Amino acid sequence: MLDSFTKTIEALLEKKKYSSLRDVLSTMNEADIAAMFSEMPEESLPLLFRILPKDLAADTFALMDTDDQELLIRGFSDNEIKEVFDELYVDDAADIVEEMPANVVKRILKNTDPQMRNIINEILKYPEDSAGSLMTTDYISLRPRMTVSDAIKRIRRGINEAETIYTCYVTDDNRKLLGYLSVKNLLLADKDEKICDIMDKTIICVHTHYDKEDVAKDMNKYDFVTMPVVDDEGRLVGIVTFDDAIDVMQDEATEDIERMAAISPTEESYFKTSDFKHAKNRILWLLILMLSAAITGGILTKYEEACSAVPLLVSFIPMLMSTGGNCGSQSSTMIIRGLSVDEIKLKDYFKVVFTELRVSLILSVTLAVINGIRIWIMNKNFLISLVVSLSIIFIVIIAQFIGCSLPMLAKKCRLDPAVMAAPLITTIVDAASILIYFNIATRFFNI
Amino acid sequence: MLDSFTKTIEALLEKKKYSSLRDVLSTMNEADIAAMFSEMPEESLPLLFRILPKDLAADTFALMDTDDQELLIRGFSDNEIKEVFDELYVDDAADIVEEMPANVVKRILKNTDPQMRNIINEILKYPEDSAGSLMTTDYISLRPRMTVSDAIKRIRRGINEAETIYTCYVTDDNRKLLGYLSVKNLLLADKDEKICDIMDKTIICVHTHYDKEDVAKDMNKYDFVTMPVVDDEGRLVGIVTFDDAIDVMQDEATEDIERMAAISPTEESYFKTSDFKHAKNRILWLLILMLSAAITGGILTKYEEACSAVPLLVSFIPMLMSTGGNCGSQSSTMIIRGLSVDEIKLKDYFKVVFTELRVSLILSVTLAVINGIRIWIMNKNFLISLVVSLSIIFIVIIAQFIGCSLPMLAKKCRLDPAVMAAPLITTIVDAASILIYFNIATRFFNI
């Protein structure tokens, strides 16, 4: 659908039908406009953006790609910068400023009003992954002694700046957080009731330095649309909204997945990343794993004699290494994901190990029997099928033990468990597989 | 913090201090109570649950584990079932009913009021992964000709059943969706204004049979707290709320991650899954991959002569296979995640292939040079270091090509791209690596 829309827009633009263009754009949602903009040729963006109705323009701007934002800002007059940034919510403005090169930031800050400038500077001071850097300061706070009708008046006055009024927070004169109140409860209450009598005093909040991933997890746990953020003195300084929390969760999942494939996570999208950046994100782990695999190779040379004595032995190496690696990755993946969604905790270590041991017994015996029969039929050599089957049993058990233990060890050492995923586990299990296999083989074949 | 709380609760329970227990529980959030319940011994659950204040009880019940819910229901009197289910939001009630065994479902449906029963039955009729199965029918709809003050009266009347009033939907007499209105705009408007004059007519909605993953993606894209769901005739039949959308996104990420590690995805948590279920979820792919790896072994036997002639050749097999596998998994992971978050589309195929080719050139040359030098220094054998380095270059290029192509091919064939992840790619690349390596080696060594 978006594709055909893009074509319509392009045609109208070419024919210079600007007023129809504005009418068409006015019917669209800002997210769709931003998505469409990212598919348009760069040179048409400034014109298209200027055609947008003013209220849509800022909302669309907040949702555009960083590159396109920079392009537009560079073409903006000082006045246009002021117009757009004054309309933005401060958290969106801070996010944009964070991504811009220094000279662009200077121009933006010069052209925003002093209050916005101060808030942006404040938000930029928080560590990159903290609740403080994620929050918005556009919220409505009520006082405990207000009546419901005072509160509604206060909300109506402040509503234009506030990104959301799903939940109102109640603070004292020192901005200390006392409780909260949903708009639902506000609408239900009698208009003369005091806020302090109807507010919910169960305070669940996060600190400005709290990790943004944990903020998102907490919001998911409590089904919060907004989460209040407080400073060291318990003063309310901002709120995190659910849309930013969802983005954090998506980014964290992507980061986990990339790390699990031995890629250094990046925040840029696939096509926006340069070739050298792609290579840089992948090369470190490739080198580490390549050199570790050389160790497995070294171990293998110790068994050169055995290989020469029974050449058939070599042909089972890929199968054993691959099976061990796969079992290890399956275990480590289950544990990494479990740790990441808080289903598995560090104290569950022994419970996890016993579960994996029991599962590995079932798996290893099944695989050993099926493979043993296959080899016996195909090679008519009972001894070799016995050696391979026995090896599979030991390899699978060891692989699952390593696979479930290393992520938890990483977590214990405060490293990201996702580092202990398939590639590293596979490399370690490969070496173990070779050792197990040839130890069993040399015994049975008396080599 | 939760741990110490659990201990307090256990101590109070043991000392039969039920009224203090109720006071303590009343200060807690339902999500925390549900988390605490999951750590308590099963036999204390019915008592604890009965101690909960009534309004907390239903909210807590909705958040508990399925097993604990079943345990409680089995112990409930008919009247207790009625009390709890009448307090639940219908989407939560439908979710619970969906997970229960048939005899429990029968008791539940017998003891809920007819209206709730009809709605539950209605929701259960939708396909499992559809918007219909995810939605709630507890929402407030307004009529276009209402004034703002009529609307507020209507909201106050309906507010107790409605899960959320962040957004009100406007429908005509046939329940056809006409537009929407945020509570924010409602509060800002003059009380005599007509709803049809202030509502937003840009209708963004999903169909009851729309895939729930796409619903979640759309809600994320538009930053919606709720998404309206319509039937074939465009009539509003329910809304999906953001908390359910977040859960869907988390589940989908888990599913992708599991599938990428060759595990059949399951909705159960790690510890709730039985050993045999764990084994069943993993065995199929292990078998497929084990048998495919046997093919690589078969290829290897063809080069037995080469291995006997230059025994050192064998020792580089693990390193080459592992490097190829890792490069292939890195590419496939980038593409699978890109496809899953809609950053990469099928039509981008050639763009992706060229990107991966350029990246693979950088990576392969770097790896080949470093490894070539290492082998030359360690083995003092220029020819073998040349053979291995040349092999690395070809293997890495082929691996990345396979790694980026297969997930897109899967998507093209309407399969889940996540199936084409590390394990399968590694197995395919392993065979290719052996072929490339020995083809180069036999040429250079004239074997």
The model's pLDDT over B94-136, given as tens digits with 9 standing for 90+, comes to 888 888 887 888 888 888 888 888 888 777 788 888 898 888 8
In angstroms, how far is the first alpha carbon of chain A from the final one? Answer: 69
**Which candidate from A183, A329, A348 shows the least CB-CB separation from B261?**
A329
Hey, of B270, B277, B374, B400, which one would you mutate to test binding to chain A, going by the most A CBs within 10 A of its CB?
A: B270
SS3 assignment for B385-444: HHHHHHHHHHHHHHHHHHHHHHHHHHHHCCCCHHHHCHHHHHHHHHHHHHHHHHHHHHHH
Sheet with B226-230, edge to edge strand ranges: B206-207, B226-230, B236-241
Is the CB of A422 inside 8 Å of chain B's CB atoms? yes
Whether A181 and A168 have beta carbons less than 8 Å apart is answered as yes
Q: Give the 3-state DSSP-derived string for B315-326, with helices as H, strands as E and coil as C.
A: HHHHHHHHHHHH
Q: How far apart are CA A111 and CA A95, in angstroms?
A: 17
| Angle at CA of residue B140, ends B138 and B146, nearest 5° | 165
* Tens-digit pLDDT profile for residues A60-85: 888 888 888 888 888 888 888 888 88
Q: What is the DSSP letter of A18?
A: H
Give the residue from A240, A304, A337 with the most B CB atoms within 10 Å of its CB, the best one to mutate. Answer: A337
Tens digits of residue pLDDT in A188-221: 888 889 998 989 888 889 999 999 989 998 998 8
pLDDT at B162: 62
Q: Fill in the DSSP letter of residue A272.
A: G
- How far CA B378 is from CA of B320, B365, B372, in Å, comes to 17, 20, 10
pLDDT of residue B163: 58
Contacts of A128 (CB under 8 A, 6+ apart): none
Spatial CB neighbours of B95, under 8 Å, sequence gap ≥ 6:
none
Burial B293-327 (b: 16+ CB within 10 A, else e): bbbbbebbeebeebbeebeebbbbbbbbbbbbbbb
Nearest to B159 among A152, A188, A351 (CB): A188
Q: Which residue of A has its CA nearest to B360?
A: A279
Residues of chain B with pLDDT under 50: 1
Chain A contact present for B346, CB below 8 A: no
Which structure tokens are listed for A185?
């409860």
Of B187, B283, B344, the CB nearest to A152: B187
Q: How far is it, in rounded angstroms, from Cα A290 to Cα B297?
A: 21
> Is B358 touching A (CB cutoff 8 A)?
yes
Nearest 5°: phi and psi at B136?
-115, 150
For chain B positions 284-303, those within 8 Å of chain A (CB to CB) are: 285-287, 289-291, 293-294, 296-298, 300-301
What is the model's pLDDT at position A352? 92
Q: Is A24:A56 a contact under the CB 8 Å cutoff? A: no
Structure confidence at residue A160 (pLDDT): 64
CB burial readout A370-381, b (16+ within 10 A) else e? bbbebbbeeeee
If you measure CA to CA, which chain A residue comes closest to B29? A202
CA of B110 vs chain A CAs: smallest distance (Å) = 30
Partner residue opposite B296 with nearest CB, options A261, A294, A318? A318
Q: Are B178 and B171 in contact (CB under 8 A)?
A: yes
Q: What is the interface size between A and B, counted as CB pairs within 8 Å?
A: 324
Q: Do A263 and B371 touch (CB under 8 A)?
A: no
Residue A400 banded pLDDT, cuts 50, 70, 90 = very high
Contacts of B325 in chain A (CB under 8 A): 426
Q: Do A260 and B333 touch (CB under 8 A)?
A: yes
pLDDT for residue A2 is more than 60 = no
The reported pLDDT for the residue numbered A356 is: 92
pLDDT bin (cut points 50, 70, 90) of residue A399 is: very high
**Region label for B342, one of left (φ > 0), alpha (ψ between -120 and 50) or beta (otherwise):** left
- Tell me the average pLDDT across A93-115: 82
Question: DSSP string spanning A195-236?
Answer: HHHHSB-----EETTSBHHHHHHHHHHHT-SEEEEE-TTSBE
Q: What is the mean pLDDT of chain A?
A: 85
Looking at residue A227, its pLDDT comes to 93
What is the rounded average pLDDT of the residues A362-385?
90
What pLDDT does A365 receive? 94
The pLDDT value given to residue A405: 93
Tell me how far apart the alpha carbons of residues B353 and B398 are, in angstroms, rounded to a whole number.
Answer: 11
Interface test with B, best of A91, A249, A258, A282 (most B CBs within 10 A): A282
The confidence score (pLDDT) of residue B159 equals 66
A366, B279: Cβ pair inside 8 Å?
A: yes
Would you call B15 helix, strand, or coil by DSSP?
coil
A282, A314, A333 ranked by CB distance to B258: nearest: A333
- Contact of B244 with chain A, judged by CB distance below 8 Å, is answered with no
The answer to whether A254 contacts chain B (CB < 8 Å) is yes
Residue A193 near chain B (CB below 8 Å): no
d(CA B143, CA B173): 8
Long-range contacts formed by B77-83: CB under 8 A, 24+ apart = B78/B107, B78/B110, B78/B111, B79/B111, B81/B107, B81/B108, B81/B111, B81/B112, B82/B111, B82/B112, B82/B113, B83/B54
State what percent of residues in chain A have pLDDT above 70. Answer: 98
Residue A241's DSSP bridge partners are: A226
Query: How confident is residue A311, by pLDDT bands cut at 50, 70 and 90?
Result: confident
Q: What is the pLDDT of residue A395?
A: 95
pTM, 2 dp: 0.77
Q: Cα distance from A197 to chain B (closest Cα, Å)? A: 16
> In this complex, do A152 and B370 lie within 8 Å of one another by their Cβ atoms?
no
Tokens matching residue B92: 């939560």
Of B194, B201, B192, the closest CA to residue B145 belongs to B194
**Any A CB within 8 A of B304 CB:** yes
Least trusted range by pLDDT, from A173-177, A411-415, B35-39 = B35-39
Q: Does any CB of chain A come closer than 8 Å to the CB of residue B317?
A: yes
HEC letters along B236-263: EEEEEEHHHHHHHHHHHHHHHHHHHCCC
At A444 the pLDDT is 87
Q: SS3 for A114?
A: helix
* DSSP state letter for A415: S
Question: What was the pLDDT predicted at A361?
Answer: 94
β-sheet bridge partners, residue A167: A182
Whether the CB of A329 is below 8 Å from some CB of chain B: the reply is: yes
